[in-house]
Structure 1
Amino acid sequence: MKKISIAFLLMLFTVVYSQAQEIKWVTLEEAISLQKKAPKKIMMDVYTTWCGPCKMLDKNTFQNKEVADYVNENYYAVKFNGEGNEVVNYKEKSFTNPNYDPALANRRNGAHDLARYLKISAYPTVVFLDENAEVITPLRGYQTPTQLELYLKMFKNDDHKNIKTQDEFNAYYSAFVSEFKG
């Protein structure tokens, strides 16, 4: 009986593991350094440890094989705790979290100065940056794989540069055909 149980668990682990895909996360400083060698846009996941939708985004969207493969191929992916305590260097400035309280590490904490600088007002927020680490736009809230796909492809292909009005975005959105599952 134990042999069957262990074999079943190994098979289940293999199936689950083969479906999950890992995004190759780097720090913002690493992404900017990598951009100098091989220009790509940056996709930055701004999250907090206490945020339920952030955890859903990790589990349901960032572990989706098509999302992970597309991000790994076309972007530098940055994961940034918007209420964390790390020092981040960006745009020749050093950003910290002077209100960070270690006792609140897994609960609501002070907002990081970089999150304030990027005008993050909700978690999760996915911030897209161009090849020069300039902000394209923040995308607030939980996104399914197919919802995120629209933005991943729009920014990667620079289609956003041709969209000036809400009507133009609505037309782009209506014409978009998703290729991701999920």
Structure 2
Amino acid sequence: MLPTLFHKLVIIKLLQPEKVVFAVSKYVAAEMGPEFTEPTPWRLEEVFKDTNCRTPVIFILSTGADPTAMLQRFAQKMGWTPGERLYMISLGQGQGRIAEMMVQQAAGKGDWVCLHNCHLAKSWMLDMEAMVEELSLETSKAHPDFRLWLTSMPAPIFPVLVLQNGIKLTNEPPKGVKANVNRGYNDMTE
């Protein structure tokens, strides 16, 4: 009797445990279909329709993926010029207060703010949580055009409330030639 894919998976688990994640992915694709292992493509135009001034958009980063250029292109397409209506700040040591003021001003005027690398601002996480909670309230005075964009690597310190209130997007680098071509085509058509 020939070994099944599942038998091969068990053998890989026993002999080469470092390859089990890749093997499980292949097994799921073979048994259930590739749509269960390939990330669902998304376009900012479609995601934007689901946003509002009280819902942050959270880009969950992975190594080699940076949504900044995509966000800047989308902002320009929507009439939000980077530096004039789209403000970006990279969080880290001492940037929390500046970011908070930037968000307050943008929320009042209806501009967009992107806070980069939220995972680096450990000491500011509670303040960010309070700020997002305040923005999410029905009584929030945020301008209807205001949008808050956040980027972060997966981190245990990231506030659960922000994750619950936000729209989460992953931006993984494409795997393989076909995925690379598809990503390039989608980037060009945005």
Structure 1 length normalisation: TM-score? 0.32
Q: Which structure is higher in helix share?
A: 2
Compare CA radii of gyration and give the structure with the larger one: 2
Higher relative contact order (CA 8 A, sep 6+): 2
Larger strand share, 1 or 2 = 1
